[in-house]
Amino acid sequence: MPAAIDAFVKQNQPRFLEELKEFIRIPSISTLPQHTPDIARAAAFVAAQLGAAGMENIQIVPTAKHPLVYADWLHAPGKPTVLCYGHYDVQPADPLELWVTPPFEPAERDGNLYARGSSDDKGQMYIHIKAVEALRAVSGRLPVNIRFLIEGEEEVGGASITRYVAENPGRLAADVALVSDTAMYADGIPTLCIGLRGLIYMEVAARGAGRDLHSGLYGGAAPNAIYGLIEVLAKAKNADGVIQIPGIYDAVEEPAPAELQSWRGLPFDEREFLAREVGASTLTGEPDRGVLERVWSRPTFEVHGIAGGFTGAGSKTVIPAQATAKVSFRLVPKQDPDRVVAAFREWVRAHAPKGISTEIRVLNASPGVVVNPDHPAVRVAARAFSEVFGKETVFIRSGGSIPVVGDFARHLHIPTVLMGFGLPDDGLHSPNEKYKIQNYYLGILTVAHFLQQYGGLG
């Protein structure tokens, strides 16, 4: 059987690549209204391909924004059910002038496919469809029950899928979810992600005077909304990046010694990370913790944007009446988003300077996620990944957040296998996004082997 699958995938590589290119050529940018017809085309493409792979009950599910695509194949009684997730929408491509070849004309160079969405996430979600197709082609059936749920709003917050998952737990019943929307730790290293940070994203608005005031006539006696805002925010962390809000670290757990030990075994060059990726004069953060620990298993507080007062060319001497900042906490597993929001609200209220009123608006809040590496699906996934790539699978975390994984945990009560085939330097959301073509083929094999072996457990 594995040999037959391998042969089928090998034989069909050129077609699989052409299909992926066709998919990528649809500029399904979810944030730009003028691309709404492309969103519809991309959803239809996915639905058609699911049909071609033998999936059933295919539905393009309308939502408040962009449609979901659902499909299933449920003819493996007694076998587990796998819920395959991915997204067909992509980020905008600008700045266009920085692309070597046009973003929606996929181009092969050095074994990579260059295009917007090649890695994030069209090239990865398409792996699932082709793995199912290969399994059906070889044996006429699937080794497990399968559901697909593909969204078109991942790059714009994913509100519709969150709602759909919450409202349709019965329809989505499964034993495990499979998500390919992350990167391998490095090329050639099979990698399962078993931890994601959560995210609380907020706007903090500050108000001082009733209107913008002349800084000559009122400066010295009138509150300044920008200054009030930055006075508060600057107190949120100390110089080492340690968050100063009481209670924030209460629920933060240290990674198990074995997990920490395994991180130390990963190839990581701090100097290269600084020079190639961060590009600053130095790294920052908690000095007694390694870099991977800081970005994987520690909470953070960041200011993402700030605006207030006069920012045009030249000078205007205004005491601004209002100012706003976008801020976030990244959370680690066990931290309760609601408690963190409450602690932050209370702290801001207590630290707002004289004459400054503040308002906090929570845009979204999702908890961190850990996957138990001893879950059968995870163990099988690790084995399949190792077999195909010929190397021991490593378990890592990611500092990022995939809210839908939290939705699956909360509403479907299932863990997620985070099996990504991207690479850290794929340039997601950037010009010249790329995807290693060889890993696309190996990904199809890996997912097929995983499903095969996971079905064999039943």
Of 146-175, binders to a copy of itself (CB under 8 A) are 156-157
The reply on whether position 320 binds a copy of itself by CB under 8 A is: yes
Residues 6+ apart with CB under 8 A from 90: 27, 28, 29, 30, 116, 117, 120, 122, 155
Task: Pick one of 1, 98, 256, 307: the residue that binds a copy of itself (CB under 8 A).
Answer: 307
The reply on whether position 125 binds a copy of itself by CB under 8 A is: no
Show contacts with a copy of itself in window 225-264 (CB under 8 A): 226-227, 230-231, 233-235, 237, 239, 241
The single-letter code of the amino acid at 278 is V
And the tokens for 365?
């809040």
Task: Pick one of 85, 99, 126, 201: the residue that binds a copy of itself (CB under 8 A).
Answer: 201
Residue 84 near residue 128 (C-beta atoms within 8 A):
yes
The reply on whether position 277 binds a copy of itself by CB under 8 A is: yes
Which of the ranges 132-140, 165-173, 184-192, 207-215 carries the binding residues for a copy of itself, by CB under 8 A? 207-215
The reply on whether position 284 binds a copy of itself by CB under 8 A is: yes
Indicate the residue among 12 and 36 with the shorter CB distance to a copy of itself: 36
And the tokens for 130?
């082709």
Which of the ranges 66-74, 206-214, 260-268, 450-458 carries the binding residues for a copy of itself, by CB under 8 A? 206-214
| Burial zone of 282 (CB within 10 Å; 0-12 exposed, 13-18 middle, 19+ buried) | exposed
Residues 6+ apart with CB under 8 A from 172: 83, 147, 149, 165, 412
**CA dihedral for 391, 139, 435, 298, sign (positive or negative):** negative
CA 418 to chain centre: 11
Backbone angles phi, psi at 168, to 5 degrees: -130, 50
Indicate the residue among 80 and 333 with the shorter CB distance to a copy of itself: 333
Which of the ranges 2-10, 46-54, 137-145, 284-292 carries the binding residues for a copy of itself, by CB under 8 A? 284-292
Per-residue binding string, a copy of itself, 364-383, x by CB under 8 A, is x-------------------
Most distant CA pair in the chain, distance: 83
Cis peptide before 2 (omega within 30 of 0): no
Quote the radius of gyration of the chain (alpha carbons, Å).
Answer: 24
CB of 363 to a copy of itself, least distance (A): 5
Indicate the residue among 130 and 207 with the shorter CB distance to a copy of itself: 207
The reply on whether position 42 binds a copy of itself by CB under 8 A is: no
The reply on whether position 318 binds a copy of itself by CB under 8 A is: yes
Size of interface with a copy of itself, in residues (CB under 8 A)? 80
The reply on whether position 80 binds a copy of itself by CB under 8 A is: no
Per-residue binding string, a copy of itself, 409-448, x by CB under 8 A, is --------------------x-------------------
CB of 286 to a copy of itself, least distance (A): 7
The reply on whether position 303 binds a copy of itself by CB under 8 A is: yes
Indicate the residue among 175 and 426 with the shorter CB distance to a copy of itself: 426
Task: Pick one of 61, 262, 286, 425: the residue that binds a copy of itself (CB under 8 A).
Answer: 286
Instruction: Please list the alpha-helical segments (H only) found in 140-223.
Output: 159-167, 215-218
Indicate the residue among 13 and 357 with the shorter CB distance to a copy of itself: 357
Backbone angles phi, psi at 158, to 5 degrees: 65, 35
Task: Pick one of 7, 52, 98, 217: the residue that binds a copy of itself (CB under 8 A).
Answer: 217
Indicate the residue among 224 and 453 with the shorter CB distance to a copy of itself: 224
Backbone angles phi, psi at 441, to 5 degrees: -65, -45
Residues 6+ apart with CB under 8 A from 325: 203, 204, 229, 233, 303, 305, 306, 307
The reply on whether position 309 binds a copy of itself by CB under 8 A is: yes
Which of the ranges 94-102, 172-180, 396-404, 432-440 carries the binding residues for a copy of itself, by CB under 8 A? 396-404
Closest CA to 424 of 446, 405, 400: 400
Which of the ranges 79-87, 120-128, 397-405, 442-450 carries the binding residues for a copy of itself, by CB under 8 A? 397-405
Task: Report the C-alpha gap between 23 and 35 in whole angstroms.
Answer: 15
The owner of tokens 């493996």 is 76
And the tokens for 401?
């957040």
Task: Report the C-alpha gap between 112 and 103 in whole angstroms.
Answer: 14
The reply on whether position 392 binds a copy of itself by CB under 8 A is: no
